[in-house]
Amino acid sequence: MLKGKHIILGISGGIAAYKSASLLRLFIKAGAEVQVVMTPSGKEFITPVTLSALSGKPVVSEFFTANTGEWHSHVDLGLWADAMVIAPATASTIAKMANGVADNMLITTYLSAKAPVFVAPAMDLDMFAHPTTTRNLNLLRSYGNTIIEPASGELASHLVGKGRMEEPENIFKVLDDFFSRRDELKGKNLLVTAGPTYEKIDPVRFIGNYSTGKMGYAIADEAASRGAEVVIVSGPVDIAPSHPSVKVVKVESAREMLAACEEEFPSVDCAVMCAAVADYAPAECAESKIKREDSEPPVIHLVKNPDIAKALGQKKRDGQKLIGFALETDHEFDNAMKKLRSKNLDMIVLNSLRDKGAGFGTDTNKITIFTADGKETAFALKSKREVAADIIDSIINL
Ligand code: PMT
């Protein structure tokens, strides 16, 4: 899908810059035309000679060539590109991109680019975890840029953690998938539920669960990147969608989630129920904080929450698809099949807490998909974004 595509490969100054040569080779082998744009410090890590030999084009790094005065137009470059990839993107380059600090050719080109931008961060784990980096990456997301999450592993500092630039093959795949799939779901509307629900006990306490929203948001991003209009009805989470077109409706309790879903459901083609909804809620929420007493601990009476998936299953119209999840700890198959039938689902995605790396909080998941017509497909442990791609592929097959 990259044949004939114009790609700007932005390289900033991090040790992962050596991997950019492999990424460049993959683009060239796929038939893309690549223009490398480097920051001054990028050149400390890999030479422009290597990159221009691989791309067949002089590398651009300065605003003009000193001895001839030839001006390098970042505006023309920005218009030429079908995609811009910044790999590696250091904390400094990310901060400059987020705040428009246009003091080098890579940033001016970024500010001029009309094409989709993909950012592959690479830095030490503490720099990556710093709130400044989180804020800057969220700003880039809000501008519509796609963040290619770094992997965990050994870093240049010999510390182990999250911050390693994603492997060139995976960055290449993100671009290849982007071009091959971007119109697959054009004209379709999707509802995705994500995250936990919080059921209030008193003004400071709630019943909740460990869901982070990562799985649901990955599904929403994947569907949006294939052209769907997506709305997430989300319980309380700390994450945001990467795709700029995804709409988020924030809710707290299961009842609020039900109300938001009932509002959205009539206008969607498909709903994916990924939220971990609390099955029970306190019968009442105390008006003020329950105090610790020396006497017996308080007894909290629970009532059943509405089953949102079931409620939508009862209203499903012809042609509408309803996808559920089953999070199990035992009797996985039987429980998943029971949920598939009782909630009138077209497909159920089973993840088991018995599988290492699956379920809550992790960046990975391991799923088996069952369809109402009896098909079963098991998948290997993958990143949640890859799992999301498998789920969307299966929905398209439905
Ligand atoms: O958010 P992450 O940290 O990335 O974790 C992802 C996940 C583990 C939460 C996700 O992959 C997942 O399994 N979500 C469903 C969790 C769950 O509540 O499963 P369940 O087996 O209890 O529910 C079955 C289905 O009914 C689910 O589609 C659920 O959304 C839905 N349900 C459940 C109860 C309820 N009251 N209303 C519902 O709609």
Burial class (CB in 10 A: 0-12, 13-18, 19+), 306: middle
Whether the per-residue pLDDT at 78 is higher than 70: the answer is: yes
* 213 CA closest ligand 1 atom index: 1
Whether the per-residue pLDDT at 75 is higher than 80: the answer is: no
Residue of the CA atom closest to atom 16 of ligand 1: 276
Whether the per-residue pLDDT at 42 is higher than 90: the answer is: yes
Task: Compute, in angstroms, the gap from residue 327 CA to the centroid of ligand 1.
Answer: 6
Torsion sign (Cα): 235, 236, 237, 240: positive
Residue type, 291: K
Is 16 in contact with 43 (CB distance < 8 Å)? no
Residue type, 25: R
Q: How far apart are the first and last CA of the chain?
A: 25
Question: Please, what is the average pLDDT of the chain?
Answer: 93
Asked if residue 340 has its Cβ within 6 Å of ligand 1, the reply is: no
Whether the per-residue pLDDT at 1 is higher than 90: the answer is: no
pLDDT band at 66 (very low <50, low <70, confident <90, very high): low
Residue of the CA atom closest to atom 23 of ligand 1: 326
Ligand 1 mutation target, pool 325, 332, 339, 366, most atoms within 8 A of CB: 325
Residue of the CA atom closest to atom 10 of ligand 1: 274
Task: Compute, in angstroms, the gap from residue 18 CA to the centroid of ligand 1.
Answer: 42
Residue of the CA atom closest to atom 5 of ligand 1: 360
Q: Which residues are CB-contacts of 345 (< 8 A; sequence separation ≥ 6)?
A: 309, 313, 322, 323, 324, 339, 372
pLDDT band at 12 (very low <50, low <70, confident <90, very high): very high
For residue 344, the model assigns a pLDDT of 98
Tokens read off for 395? 């929905």
Percent pLDDT > 70 in the chain is: 98
- For the whole prediction, is pTM greater than 0.85? no
Task: Compute, in angstroms, the gap from residue 396 CA to the centroid of ligand 1.
Answer: 21
Whether the per-residue pLDDT at 79 is higher than 90: the answer is: no
